[in-house]
A and B are shown apart, each in its own frame.
Chain A
């Protein structure tokens, strides 16, 4: 079993839809959780950061962490064509260990 599992998609939704992206993980030591957005041929851009369990909201984006289920989610409300990108979940056990990434989910928002 991989440490981090993420459905690669592709996921295609109409403009304005609510998008749900998810990752599961197996390492119970993970406590730092991040979501990155990567456009084609660009470096990943940090979208959301959560420490331990809970929810965090930033504009149209909401990140949720459920450590009991080892499950994290990213919700995008009112999706826009500009949200079309690959979304990577990432996590680590401490501030000093490298991030472990999911494979990324390719999202297309159709106008």
Chain B
């Protein structure tokens, strides 16, 4: 299957700082990528849909100014958590869509805000 690389895998930061997470499709081009958040023992919660060359589409209740998404190329989407606070601590996962609606996921980023 296709490979999606997500970096970093683990981030610990102080409250008020910004954190950038990168999601790359390594062996294919992805016009659409997705960003999810996952709390312990819960399913994936879609945060936003990232389309190359255009603005991201955010799900209801997700603050677009808080979670900045940039999809500048066909192989890279970034999520920046701005002015992070402890309540932003979570597991963030990206995915890239290929033909037939299949999505391949990155390994996830565990964010801890102190």
Q: CA–CA, A104 to B108, complex, Å?
A: 17
Give CA–CA (A92, B44) in the complex, Å: 15
Select the stretch in A14-22, A42-50, A60-68 that faces chain B. Answer: A42-50
Cβ contact of A41, chosen from B43, B99, B100, B108, cutoff 8 A: B108
Interface residues of A in 49-101 (CB under 8 A from B): 49, 51, 88, 90, 92, 94-99, 101
Is B49 in contact with chain A by the CB < 8 A criterion?
yes
Q: What is the count of residue pairs linking A and B with beta-carbon distances less than 8 angstroms?
A: 56
User: Given A42-B108, A43-B107, A34 and B102 touching (CB < 8 A)?
Assistant: yes
Please name all residues of chain B whose beta carbon is closer than 8 Å to the beta carbon of A32 when the two chains form the complex: 100-102
Q: What is the bound-complex CA distance between A21 and B43, given in angstroms?
A: 16
A43-B93, A44-B93, A46-B1 known; A101+B102 contact, CB < 8 A = no
Q: Which residues of chain A are within 8 angstroms of B58 by Cβ–Cβ distance?
A: none
13 more CB-based (< 8 A) A-B contacts, given A41-B91, A44-B105, A102-B43: A32-B101, A42-B107, A43-B108, A46-B104, A46-B105, A49-B102, A92-B101, A95-B99, A96-B101, A101-B44, A103-B42, A103-B43, A106-B41
Q: Which 4 A-B pairs have the closest CB atoms?
A: A43-B105, A32-B101, A95-B101, A43-B108
Interface residues of B (CB under 8 A from A): 1, 4, 6, 32, 34, 41-44, 46, 49, 91, 93, 95, 97, 99-108, 110
Q: List 30 A-B contacts (CB under 8 A).
A: A32-B100, A32-B102, A34-B102, A34-B103, A41-B91, A41-B110, A42-B108, A43-B6, A43-B106, A43-B107, A43-B108, A44-B95, A44-B105, A45-B105, A46-B102, A49-B100, A49-B102, A88-B43, A88-B44, A92-B101, A96-B101, A98-B34, A98-B46, A98-B49, A99-B101, A99-B103, A101-B44, A102-B43, A103-B42, A106-B41
